[in-house]
Amino acid sequence: MSKLAIIIPCYNEEFRLNFNEIDLLLNQANIDVYFANDGSKDNTVKKINQYIQNKPNTFLFDYKKNEGKAFTIYKSLVSLYEQNKYTYIGYLDADFSTKSVDFLSMYNYLQNSPKEFILASRIMLLNSNIKRKKYRHYIGRIILTIINIKYKLGIYDTQCGAKIFSQNILNEVLKTPFQTAWLFDAEVFIRLKKSNLLTNGVEFPITNWEDVAGSKLKLTDGFEILKEINTLYKNY
């Protein structure tokens, strides 16, 4: 039977952690949840410790220094990959803008598929409920268009924060730390494309997604993201 580890990166998420959604994940057999604290300054760690003390399948990576979501996820992926006890390792945002029911559907699909990884995709389809801030949607489309000029990933949505990878394919993803902060998801897929492994994955249209108050992406961050595109162009 396969086993899944889920990383939930946390930076000052005291008021956004959704433990009800985490309970839904833990109701499933063979799922472990790893909170990854990225040097939070609020009561995030206190709330996590209170939650996990009676939850045997929950754990905490308590990184004292704030180094950003990308490096927090990278360190956590490496740690779990090296444990070599999980069939799949994924990550999911603490605010659960992607709901547990969709993440579990992704996991179920992947287990019954020959594919090696799966990524949530916020595609507007009939009966889907995708609510994104317009400026975030437009920034995302522009950025992905620029990235695809060179890399031609063929992916609709690289940036949704819900993804699952097989243990086998993570070796290619984790060879070196990510070079970008905002665009590390796209960087993962560029690495897989360079290794001729991108077609081993699948996009999964999720049914519900909504921007949650407190998101750290601002309109002005678009300029930093453009700089990171230049970093990708230089390094890959």
Q: What is the pLDDT of residues 137-187, one digit of tens each?
A: 777 788 889 999 999 999 999 999 999 999 999 999 999 999 999 999 999
Domain boundaries, the chain: 4-235
The pair of structure tokens assigned to 222 is: 């678009």
Class of domain 4-235 as given by CATH? alpha beta
| Distance spanning both ends of the chain, measured CA to CA | 37
Cα dihedral 147→176→86→200 (10° resolution):
40
Give dist(CA 77, CA 117) in Å, integer.
14
Report DSSP state, residue 211.
P
Taking only the tens place, the pLDDT of each residue in 25-65 is 999 989 999 999 999 999 999 999 999 999 999 999 999 99
Instruction: Provide the mean pLDDT of the chain.
Output: 93
Q: In this structure, are strands 208-210 and 129-131 parallel, antiparallel, or unpaired? A: parallel
User: What does pTM read for this prediction?
Assistant: 0.94
Give dist(CA 39, CA 11) in Å, integer.
7
